[in-house]
């Protein structure tokens, strides 16, 4: 079951990548080419902090070794063989909401 959390942070103008905290989790929030994305904050390669990275051509770039992750699918670039978790978001009149999986699946993949 997904629980929706309202984001209490002001969103900067234009393109950005920043760390947010929701339900005790540090996540990475980005706006790229007019779209908002929420993804895991830790790089699966070697633990880099993805919110310290940047976006390019629909990908989030890790600042440590510059591995790339597709912002729509979470898939790593060819040859990486990894992926990042993408969190569902909803833009509602009262603000931006992020969906976090609860229970067993949330613990496993959250």
Length of the chain: 110
CA separation for the pair 93, 103 (Å, rounded): 28
Q: Which of 18, 25, 45, 85 binds ligand FES (CB under 6 A)?
A: 45
6 contributes a contact to ligand FES by CB under 6 A: no
Q: Which is nearer to ligand FES, 26 or 65 (CB)?
A: 65
Dig out the tokens for 18 from the structure.
Answer: 């920043």
In angstroms, the CA 49 to CA 40 distance is 9
What is the closest distance, in whole angstroms, from the C-beta atom of residue 46 to ligand FES in the complex? 4
From candidates 32, 51, 60, 67, binder to ligand FES by CB under 6 A: 67
Cα(89)–Cα(5) distance, integer angstroms: 9
Question: Which positions touch ligand FES (CB under 6 A)?
Answer: 43, 45-48, 62, 64-65, 67
């Amino acid at each position: 079951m997904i629980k929706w959390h309202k984001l209490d942070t002001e969103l900067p103008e234009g393109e950005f990548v920043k760390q947010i905290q929701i339900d005790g989790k540090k996540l990475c929030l980005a706006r790229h080419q007019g779209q908002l994305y929420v993804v895991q904050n830790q790089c699966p390669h070697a633990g880099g902090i993805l919110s310290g990275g940047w976006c390019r051509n629909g990908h989030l770039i890790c600042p440590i070794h510059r591995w790339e992750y597709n912002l729509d699918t979470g898939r790593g670039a060819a040859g990486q063989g990894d992926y990042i978790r993408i969190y569902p978001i909803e833009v509602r009149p009262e603000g931006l909401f992020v969906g976090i999986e609860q229970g067993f699946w949330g613990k496993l993949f959250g």
